[in-house]
């Protein structure tokens, strides 16, 4: 009887799909942000079919053209179609935005869990390295590392990943210290469950909520950092397009043809703002103190 009364009082636990639907489509602003992200992802995937011209094709006869029916956003200082470069540039910017936070979450979580679970000298060593890296803002740390490694796709992936690892490690360590004191972890230790199994089955699944929320928020930061590095000339190597180096190239003809700067600036703003809104929604949904 007690079990039946409890089942009638307590609502059923929503499925994972229902949770995702509520997070992404529960509010108007989050719904719009999700739609914008989906549109830009589709643009990046379908770039060869959507771009009207080759983004690397130059023409001395088309330098700094104003928007027209032939070139919807005009051309840049080398006669390249701005719209085509923006479409192909979305591939680089979104790839950096997705890959870097995921890799940083994997390595940072691993370091944080090891430090928090084992403690002692291991915790002190890892914590001192994390504190050292946290002394630098992410963008400054990325610039320092990029200046050493240089440009290139995987170099920039590595740069942004290293810049984000300390934040994930700090969050994972704090969560691990809390979860490690839970009775089910202590019971697993008492019955002789091996440490790797305890970490994989009991620690990591119970600290993933803040990690996922942080990873979503830092997708936007990764796109912004990559754009900043490319703007400074130490990101995506020319002539390959990315939103950052499109803005940098547009500075040379700012008053004659501002369309590269306007187009890339609007794209960065929309994507970064959309990921921030979705990340805030995920954080609120996964945080027990704010979840409804």
Locate 289 and state its tokens.
């103190």
Question: In degrees, to the nearest 5, what angle opens at C-alpha 154 toward C-alphas 268 and 234?
Answer: 60
Cα–Cα dist 5/275, whole Å: 42
Q: Which residues pair with 117 in a beta bridge?
A: none
Q: Which of 17-31, 34-48, 59-73, 92-106 has the lowest mean pLDDT?
A: 17-31
The dihedral region occupied by 233, where left means phi > 0, alpha psi between -120 and 50, and beta the remainder, is left
Q: Which residues pair with 81 in a beta bridge?
A: 75
- Looking at residue 9, its pLDDT comes to 52
pLDDT category of residue 26 using cuts at 50, 70 and 90:
low
Query: Is 261 a residue whose pLDDT tops 50?
Result: yes
Cα–Cα dist 164/142, whole Å: 9
- Looking at residue 216, its pLDDT comes to 84
- Residues contacting residue 231 through CB under 8 Å, at least 6 positions apart: 244, 245, 247, 248
- Looking at residue 259, its pLDDT comes to 83
- Looking at residue 40, its pLDDT comes to 93
The dihedral region occupied by 90, where left means phi > 0, alpha psi between -120 and 50, and beta the remainder, is alpha
pLDDT category of residue 105 using cuts at 50, 70 and 90:
very high
Question: What is the tens place of the pLDDT at every residue in 218-236?
Answer: 888 888 888 888 888 887 8
Asked if 156 contacts 146 with a C-beta cutoff of 8 angstroms, the reply is yes
Locate 3 and state its tokens.
């079990």
Question: What is the tens place of the pLDDT at every residue in 39-48?
Answer: 999 999 999 9
Asked if 238 contacts 179 with a C-beta cutoff of 8 angstroms, the reply is no
Mean pLDDT of 156-160: 87
In CATH, 26-47+80-286 is 3.40.50.970: no
Sign of the Cα pseudo-torsion (226, 23, 283, 209, in order): negative
Cα–Cα dist 282/178, whole Å: 21
Helical H segments across the chain, by residue range: 2-9, 16-25, 28-45, 47-50, 82-118, 120-134, 138-149, 153-179, 183-190, 195-198, 204-231, 243-250, 259-286
Annotated domain spans of the chain: 26-47+80-286
pLDDT category of residue 7 using cuts at 50, 70 and 90:
very low
- Looking at residue 21, its pLDDT comes to 65
Sign of the Cα pseudo-torsion (30, 36, 40, 45, in order): positive
Asked if 112 contacts 172 with a C-beta cutoff of 8 angstroms, the reply is yes
What's the whole-number average pLDDT of the chain?
83
Q: Give one DSSP letter per residue of 58-88, joined into a string.
A: --GGGTTPPP-SSSTT-B-TTS-BHHHHHHH
pLDDT category of residue 96 using cuts at 50, 70 and 90:
confident
């Amino acid at each position: 009887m007690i079990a039946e009364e409890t089942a009638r009082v307590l609502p059923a636990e929503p499925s994972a799909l229902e949770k995702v639907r509520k997070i992404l489509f529960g509010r108007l602003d989050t719904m719009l942000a999700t739609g914008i992200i989906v549109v830009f992802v589709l643009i990046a995937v379908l770039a060869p079919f959507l771009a009207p011209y080759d983004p690397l094709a130059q023409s001395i006869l088309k330098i700094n053209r104003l928007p027209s029916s032939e070139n919807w956003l005009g051309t840049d200082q080398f006669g390249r179609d701005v719209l085509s470069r923006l479409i192909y540039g979305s591939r680089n910017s979104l790839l950096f935005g997705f890959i870097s936070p995921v890799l940083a979450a994997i390595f940072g979580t691993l370091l944080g869990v090891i430090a928090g679970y084992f403690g002692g000298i291991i915790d002190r060593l890892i914590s001192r390295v994390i504190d050292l890296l946290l002394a630098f803002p992410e963008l400054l740390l990325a610039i320092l590392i990029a200046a050493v490694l240089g440009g290139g796709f995987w170099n920039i992936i590595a740069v942004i990943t290293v810049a984000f690892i300390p934040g994930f490690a700090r969050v994972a360590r704090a969560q691990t210290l809390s979860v490690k004191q839970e009775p089910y972890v202590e019971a697993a230790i008492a019955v002789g469950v091996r440490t790797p199994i305890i970490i994989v089955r009991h620690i990591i699944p119970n600290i993933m909520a803040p990690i996922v929320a942080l990873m979503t928020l830092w997708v936007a930061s990764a796109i912004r950092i990559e754009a900043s590095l490319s703007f400074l000339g130490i990101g995506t190597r020319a002539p390959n397009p990315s939103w950052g180096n499109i803005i940098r190239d547009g500075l040379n003809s700012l008053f004659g043809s501002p369309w590269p700067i306007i187009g890339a600036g609007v794209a960065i703003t929309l994507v970064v703002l959309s990921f921030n809104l979705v990340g805030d929604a995920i954080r609120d949904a996964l945080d027990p103190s704010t979840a409804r």
